[in-house]
Chains A and B, each alone.
Chain A
């Protein structure tokens, strides 16, 4: 079977869950080959990639791959597509990896499909568009298909692969070195999981009422090991940082469980969360459109309901 290249997502050497999802998916499509780009590769990383089915691991861990925006990683993948002739290339549908996929598509003259939620027979990708309103099946018609797959779309299954390492030397071209990363600024985000990767997301909206009151959302999130999200009303009001905004102009999440507290469920917001598997809504307005999506809804004051729910969750652990 042909190789399927999987670009590994990692932060400071830690492999993100979406990579394990992509490896699981790649096993259905061919022989998974993980591609490690940038510093941070370790024996531990190798073991993890092999555990989830990587037969081969291409390692390009020189610093200059990560020191410039996007372009070097696209060059690396283009080089590997040329040498390995894979059946497909999979990346995570994160902002940066989609850009890598886009530049790669031009380099290798191939089609790219973004935000796939599944890839089936004949490399047909499932996509959920227009805020989850329409399901689309698409395929690439030219070149080596490139897919950017949404986090949380594939249940992870371990299945050991050989994990044979192959060092790759990439001479990053001058053309790919024009946008230099001179500093990486880390903002405090605590121990919570990342929004798009989290299995559970608890979001607060206008009904939360203030920045201080977001602590009740955070407490519920922490009791469930969840990420915290916010509606646009809440981020516009400055109650919660913009990078946590869920919705059409923010992040798209598809967790196992999404809890919306004090969020009316405007289309803007629904576009970012309605592919969640289970949705729970807490809102004092019984007419709020969020209840149309909810598997379970509580009509009531979130200031009463949310802390009570948090206490119950803690009690039942």
Chain B
């Protein structure tokens, strides 16, 4: 099975995340780049499927040069090779542009199964997997907390507000995974060393036959008109419990008409 796992480099949540004042896109220099956490579950799931069914795991990343760190991490976990879609023309693409660019690349490199994290910790739109399924015209198997492949049949449990839906489809397909589907492995020392020798193919927009009128900030379907730091919350009242903390908290709730 030819599995492609899409990973995204995101700013570390623990550092201050900012937008750039010039073009209002993510300031990638202001924060440390890390692998989007949910994508680690996607890599793990891809590796488990490969271990169970054979095949190959290819990491696909779209992002600037710096995103190669993210690729190395996924390779160190055990992926076989990587494709890095990198081109200045892609800077500032929104979800529509990104899904288009990734879909073109996926068509180019081929796949039986595409695996993604269900959302990124920076943009948090949660739409990319659905958009890829739409663009590639393959089944959408998203928000999975369980994935089973049997020959060309694939089934997932799709997490819902009330529990989960059992969903069935045939390969090729797009899967997105939620946290807790598995426990992502840590790269071993051997894995980290091996990752240095694994092939990483760099593709530009022309290589992936990407129409530049569909990607990048200027071609985006939406724009950030303005942004500002959220005003800090006003300092609250903090009391020490002296045996009546619950009563005092109830007084506060009553003053706000919650009780």
Contact = CB atoms under 8 A, between A and B. Distances in A.
Contacts of A293: 233, 236
B110 interface: no
A309 B127 contact: no
Could you tell me the dominant secondary structure of chain A's interface residues? mixed
Given A184-B160, A299-B241, A139 B130 contact: no
A134 B249 CA distance: 30
Could you tell me the dominant secondary structure of chain B's interface residues? mixed
A299 B169 contact: no
A11 B165 CA distance: 14
Interface residues of B, number: 84
Interface in B149-169: 157-169
A233 interface: no
A293 to B, nearest CB: 6
Given A101-B127, A181-B166, A184-B160, A134 B227 contact: yes
A296 B247 CA distance: 13
A62 interface: no
B43 to A, nearest CB: 15
A112 B259 contact: no
A45 interface: no
Nearest to B159: A243
B145 to A, nearest CB: 8
Interface residues of A, number: 99
B222 A179 contact: no
Contacts of A243: 159, 161
Contacts of A235: 180
A280 B249 CA distance: 8
A70 B123 CA distance: 21
A224 B259 contact: yes
B256 interface: yes
A268 interface: yes
A114 B240 contact: no
B221 A112 contact: yes
A135 B19 CA distance: 10
A94 interface: yes
Nearest to A139: B225
Contact of B141 (A69, A95, A110, A142): A69
Interface stretch (A32-40, A82-90, A155-163, A186-194): A186-194
A311 B222 CA distance: 50
A56 interface: no
A105 B221 contact: yes
A43 interface: no
A242 B159 CA distance: 11
A296 B249 contact: yes
Contact of A71 (B95, B134, B224): B134
Contact of B179 (A70, A111, A242, A304): A242
B240 A268 contact: no
In the complex, the 3 A-B pairs of residues with the closest C-beta atoms, listed nearest first: A300-B241, A308-B246, A102-B127
Given A112-B221, A249-B37, 12 more contacts: A100-B130, A105-B96, A111-B220, A113-B222, A142-B222, A182-B168, A187-B163, A296-B236, A304-B246, A306-B246, A307-B246, A309-B247
28 contacts: A69-B158, A74-B134, A95-B118, A95-B159, A98-B127, A102-B99, A105-B127, A109-B221, A112-B221, A130-B122, A133-B230, A134-B228, A135-B227, A179-B140, A180-B167, A181-B165, A242-B180, A257-B258, A267-B13, A271-B13, A274-B233, A280-B252, A291-B236, A293-B233, A297-B236, A299-B239, A299-B241, A313-B259
